[in-house]
Structure 1
Amino acid sequence: MEESKNVGSAVLYGLIAIFTLFITSSIVFSMLLRFTSLQEGSLQYIITAVSFIALFAGGFISGGKGKQKGWFLGGLTGLIYFVIVFLFSFLGLDQLFTFEQFIYHVCYTLIAMMGGILGVNLSKS
């Protein structure tokens, strides 16, 4: 019972970190787009990089909090993020993922797994 509580807590911390980073970066990017002459297309690769960094950080935090099974904690964090975004897209916007979006979210989950593995290994030392 204690282990499942630890897993839930670790994943929750990771998800909070991911969404906090996304909200913060969204505010920054929206301010840049509003008050400068930048276009959304010119920020596409930067936004993608920030997304990968946020998922890596969330997985890292999950692994660090859980202190074991980093691949599982990071993967679970990425998978729950995937489900939340999919449900928002499907239920809120009435849109399914495109194949490209699906590939991105699979990569996000893999990046979160890598972050979880690194988080476990760095928390033990």
Structure 2
Amino acid sequence: MKTALSPRLNLMRRFPILYGLAWALLWSMVGILIIALWAHLTVMTPTKVVIGAYGVHCLSAILGGFVASRAANERGWFQGGMVGLLYALIMLLLSLVVYNAFPTDASGLFRVLLLTLMGAFAGVLGVNTRKET
């Protein structure tokens, strides 16, 4: 049974990588707001805040890759990997704007690789959870 989607959502699903990237950015904003609120209301060490931020970024890349591959219905690893890569590059550009530094050291490149692989893995899972019609 098909459901009617709004025209904007239907248009966004035509571009699955952008659709997944929008979901990843949405969930990262929600997650970072939750971490910030939690840190404000409780006593959290800076180390725990950093760990929470890494968790939010990883979860965002996973959810974005999953959603993108379900929208694409094919090549899930590619769709998810591209979402993870673009999400990581956006986060690098944000760090350039905020901190006036572009982290291209080993840890920065590892984060890009990790988010790309997480998105690709989620893309494989997402494309295989889609029902055949």
Task: Give the structure-2-normalised TM-score.
Answer: 0.79
2:77 aligned with 1:71? yes
1:37 to 43, 50, 70: 43
Cα contact 1:6–1:66 (8 A) shared by 2:
no
Task: Tell me by how many angstroms 1:117 deviates.
Answer: 1.0
Query: Matches of 2:73 and 2:125 in 1, distance apart?
Result: 10
Are residues 1:101 and 2:114 paired?
A: no
**Distance change >3 Å, CA 107–CA 40, structure 1 → 2:** same
Identify the range of structure 1 (9-18 vs 64-73) with the bigger mean alpha-carbon deviation.
9-18
Structure 1 unmatched runs, 5+ = none
1:1-125 equivalences in 2 (<5 Å): 9-91=15-97, 93-97=99-103, 98-125=105-132
2 CA distance for matches of 1:91 and 1:32?
25
Q: 1:67 to 1:91 in 2, by over 3 A?
A: same
1:91 shift after superposition: 4.8
Change (3 A) 1:66 1:80: same
Deviations 1:76-98 (A, max 9, x none): 11121122222233355321113
Structure 1 CA distance for aligned equivalents of residues 130 and 73 of structure 2:
7
Larger helix percent: 1
Further displaced range: 78-87 or 12-21: 78-87
Higher relative contact order (CA 8 A, sep 6+): 1
2:118 counterpart letter in structure 1: I
Corresponding residue pairs, total: 121
